Chains A and B, each alone.
Chain A
Amino acid sequence: MKKLQKTQLQPFFAALAANASLYLPVDNEVGKAEFKKWQDGVQMSTALNTLRSAKDFFFPQTENLMEFKMEGKRIDVIDTREECEDFVLFGVRACDAASFAILDRVYLVDPVDTYYKNRREHGTVVTLACGRPAETCFCGTFGIDATDPAGDVTAWELADGYALRANTEKGEALLASVAALLTDTDTAEVEAEQARVRAILARLPLSGLTTEGLGEGMTKEFFARPEWAALSEACLGCGTCTFVCPTCQCYDIRDFDTGHGIQRFRCWDSCMYSDFTKMAHGNPRTSQLERFRQRFMHKLVYFPDNNDGIFGCVGCGRCLARCPISMNIVKVMKALKKGGAEQ
């Protein structure tokens, strides 16, 4: 385990940025944290988490897939893919780090999504253990330890500096590249910090929430539940929850006519949208109830069904904070459990 003095933070960032683009949470014009490229003088945000998740770096909201160039009656197909440059993501929280593993299960299995893979290979993730979790946090529900996040390198904020631990070869290489700024340290300080935070986590309002009764094999049990009607009633059908979600992975592919050609791009889709998975024959989910149910069934049942029981939620709490009408996965989980208990 290595240690970085707080006074060395900016030189540390500078050293990382010398080798690759460095992104870290920075407060924006309205005082909310978002990942931004580090430049000399940029200060890291002290916020618990970014408004948007870190998934954007591997699965951006929009990306061009290919182009068609048209001249008169001639059409050329152009491959627009470019090799991604190396980059470092600093300050990713445990929840978001866990989301990458979920996205990998979608995009790195056959057929591999080469656009995603390219970025995953070139990105190095430095996570930062949580020090001051919020009431909306419930990563523990999904077995995620906010005090010991995954990532290529794990960092803990201590009173006078940061403890750093490489978890992967990429992480080793990253720490090696800045070795001059680091000193060796033992795990005692980190363990003390973890104990402090774990005590707080245990007091969080959602700390008792478990996945018991949810997950694999529950499709028949949950699909026709009457609770969906009341739960989905207030849903506006906006995409906020999906767009701030670190694990939502659905996209739409569209063509944009530029006037001199076609750009084929993909962009995030939301199962809350009325045209979600609309096909030539029409739309398989015509009501908001069905679309709402799809979102939560996917995270709580279908994804675990197809992925060895792993849930499609990491408990980051963004949807809890952002939903315009405050409907969210926690309320859904509780309602389904309660309904199950009553049956």
Chain B
Amino acid sequence: MQVNEYKPKIVAFCCNWCSYAGADGAGSARLAYPAEVKIIRVPCSCRVNPMFILRAFQRGADGVIIAGCHPGDCHYTSGNYFTRRRMALLFSMLDYLGIERERTRVEWISAAEGAKFSKTMSEFAATVASLGENKRLEDLRCKQ
């Protein structure tokens, strides 16, 4: 095995009602996904401010994923619809600035979809790993 194998840092914002529960479901079913994925619980995906995403990249994240209820299933009726619009625009802007669009993602994962949670996180971690370290939105001050 390679020494110092590159492990990306990934922040997953999960809505409390669906995706965080989905992550719990993945845990209960012992469905592994890479340890570099760390979850932050938010009440709804619509709580995720673009500033949080940029903040994560600044602080050394290599990928950020937002997971919420499926459209139509939002605990708060419409939160994820706003998330979808906001993130569609934000991701498009990041892409426009030449920042790898694959580093950011929105996924809809219900409380019942532990398997999907695990699969999505594994896939995303692999994608981010293949992109390598986030250079384009890094902040040199935050490098150790």
Question: Residues of A at under 8 Å CB distance from B?
Answer: 256, 258-260, 263
* Chain A-chain B contacts (Cβ-Cβ < 8 Å), number: 9
From B60, B141, B144, give the contact of A263 (CB < 8 A).
Answer: B141
Known contacts A260-B142, A263-B141; 7 additional CB pairs below 8 A are A256-B141, A258-B141, A258-B142, A259-B59, A259-B60, A259-B142, A260-B144
Closest residue of B by beta carbon distance from A67? B141
User: Chain B: interface secondary structure?
Assistant: loop
Distance to closest chain A CB from B9 (angstroms): 12
9 contacts between A and B (CB under 8 A): A256-B141, A258-B141, A258-B142, A259-B59, A259-B60, A259-B142, A260-B142, A260-B144, A263-B141
Distance to closest chain A CB from B133 (angstroms): 16
- Indicate the member of B59, B60, B141, B144 with the most A CB atoms within 10 Å: B141
Proximity string of chain B (132-144) to chain A, C-beta cutoff 8 Å, 1 when within and 0 when not: 0000000001101
Closest residue of A by beta carbon distance from B140? A258
Question: Residues of B at under 8 Å CB distance from A?
Answer: 59-60, 141-142, 144
Distance to closest chain B CB from A39 (angstroms): 23
Question: Which residues of chain A have C-beta atoms less than 8 A from B144's C-beta?
Answer: 260
Question: Which residues of chain A have C-beta atoms less than 8 A from B142's C-beta?
Answer: 258-260
Interchain CA distance A235-B65 in the complex, whole Å: 42
Interchain CA distance A260-B144 in the complex, whole Å: 7
Interchain CA distance A98-B141 in the complex, whole Å: 35
Distance to closest chain A CB from B61 (angstroms): 11
Interchain CA distance A263-B143 in the complex, whole Å: 12
Distance to closest chain A CB from B124 (angstroms): 23
Interchain CA distance A263-B141 in the complex, whole Å: 8
Interchain CA distance A128-B2 in the complex, whole Å: 59
Distance to closest chain B CB from A175 (angstroms): 39
Question: Which residues of chain B have C-beta atoms less than 8 A from A263's C-beta?
Answer: 141
Interchain CA distance A318-B142 in the complex, whole Å: 35
Question: Which residues of chain B have C-beta atoms less than 8 A from A259's C-beta?
Answer: 59-60, 142
- Indicate the member of B59, B142, B144 with the most A CB atoms within 10 Å: B142
Distance to closest chain B CB from A74 (angstroms): 16
Interchain CA distance A189-B59 in the complex, whole Å: 59
